[in-house]
Amino acid sequence: MGKQKLKVVITDTGYASYEPETRQLDPVDAELVLAECSTEQEVAKACKDADGVITRLAPVGGEAIEMMENCRIISRYGVGVDNVDVAAATAKGIIVANVRGYCNEDVSDHALALLLSCVRKTVRRDKQVRAGAWDVAAADPIWRVAGKTLGLVGFGAIAQTLHRKLGGFALGAVLGFDPYVSGEDMGKAGVRKVELDELLKESDYISIHAPLTDETHHIIGREQFAMMKPTAILINTSRGPLVDPDALYDALKSGRINSAGIDVYEPEPPHSDCKLFGLDNVVLTDHAGWYSQESQLTLQQTTARNVALVLAGKPPLFCVNPEVLK
């Protein structure tokens, strides 16, 4: 009787083809099983005998992890691992892996697109023209980008890529808030490190690029909106819960800030009665910042490559809990 194949379960699907994953797993003789899990109980059942788990959005919590008998690695499509109980996996000696850097160009492109859409009011103008309006500049003023102050909340790889792309726009100043990046390093990039309050008060455009943690949950709320200029534009392509959704709605509805470009929500997807849907000074997209044909291929390949490496007795390309490797 031949050796039993290793089993790798994808907890929830979302891509047209899984050939990239299959190609990565073939060399370790692993069978790929596609599941459609939306609850932790479904994850527990599907992954009970899996040697490796790949997850997208399904909740891989402590209960599901406790039920895993053979699992050596949980690899997530993406950078964040919000849906994985990393502590529970670590306690059980299971590696948690992610994919870093695959969409820096794409998210920064998207942040720039949202920013320019808000600055030039292209979405609003499109609707106005279709409705028969013309020459609405006096009632809907626009200010140029050159000379304005950009504030980056978080100065990791995506924020740095966005900063590079904005280099030709002749900004007046770029401010950065990030407790984990030194003022010296920001200064080398032409960014002045400041505290969050100063950034909010001085910036014309604010783009959020921070991770979601207990410390950053609702880092932008009513108090923070009160500090912003009435002409300020807020862009969020990071995580929805970084911004208090009720405070955002009130700031936009009341004119406390000029406009916003939002790609991420709390919750996701937003409910059909989401109050932002009724506003015309916000540009909304469907958590699409990460996406391009190139980034998706890299994401699928690398997520599966993490699993293949671990099943072959090697460390993954990207490990969230390196203490289990010791």
- Are 180 and 31 in a shared domain? no
In the residue annotation, 222 being an active-site residue is answered as no
CATH number at residue 321: 3.40.50.720
pLDDT of residue 293: 97
Instruction: Residue 315: give the domain boundaries.
Output: 6-102+293-325
Domain identity same for 113 and 245: yes
Answer yes or no: do 192 and 226 share one domain.
Answer: yes
pLDDT mean over 2-22: 93
pLDDT at 189 over 80: yes
What would you report as the CA-atom Rg of the chain, rounded to the nearest whole angstrom?
Answer: 22
Total domains in the fold of the chain: 2
- E-state strands within 203-258: 205-208, 233-236
**pLDDT for 75-107, tens place per residue?**
999 998 989 999 999 999 999 999 999 999 999
- What SS3 class is residue 73? strand
Predicted confidence (pLDDT) at residue 2 exceeds the cutoff of 70 = no
Give domain status of residue 314, yes or no: yes
Residues 113 and 198 in one domain: yes
- Which pLDDT score is estimated for 3? 63
Instruction: Give the chain's end-to-end CA distance (angstroms, integer).
Output: 35
Residue 274 lies inside a defined structural domain of this protein: yes
Q: Do 259 and 110 sit in the same domain of this protein?
A: yes
CA-CA distance, 320 to 176, in Å (whole number)? 26
Active site residue 217: no
Interval 174-182 mean pLDDT? 98
Mean pLDDT of the chain: 96
In angstroms, rounded to a whole number, what is the distance separating the alpha carbons of residues 148 and 108?
19
One domain, residues 140 and 130 = yes
Nearest CA-CA partner of 302 in 312, 317, 290, 281: 317
Per-residue pLDDT, averaged over 19-28, amounts to 98
83 and 108 belong to one structural domain: no
* pLDDT score, position 1: 46
Q: Is residue 85 part of a domain?
A: yes
Which of these is catalytic: 19, 36, 195, 268?
A: 268
Annotated catalytic residue 271: no
Catalytic-role residue among 239, 266, 305, 323: 239
Q: pTM for the full model?
A: 0.91
Q: How far apart are CA 36 and CA 58, in angstroms?
A: 9
Query: Do residues 159 and 97 both lie within one domain?
Result: no
Residue 185 has pLDDT above 70, yes or no: yes
How many CB atoms are located within 10 Å of the residue 38 CB? 12
Within a domain: 1: no
Helices (H), the chain: 19-25, 40-47, 62-67, 86-91, 104-120, 122-130, 157-165, 183-188, 196-202, 222-227, 245-254, 293-311
Answer yes or no: do 128 and 231 share one domain: yes
Per the domain annotation, does 89 fall within a domain? yes
Q: Are residues 131 and 95 in the same domain?
A: no
Q: In this structure, are 47 and 164 located in the same domain?
A: no
- The answer on 187 and 141 residing in a single domain is yes
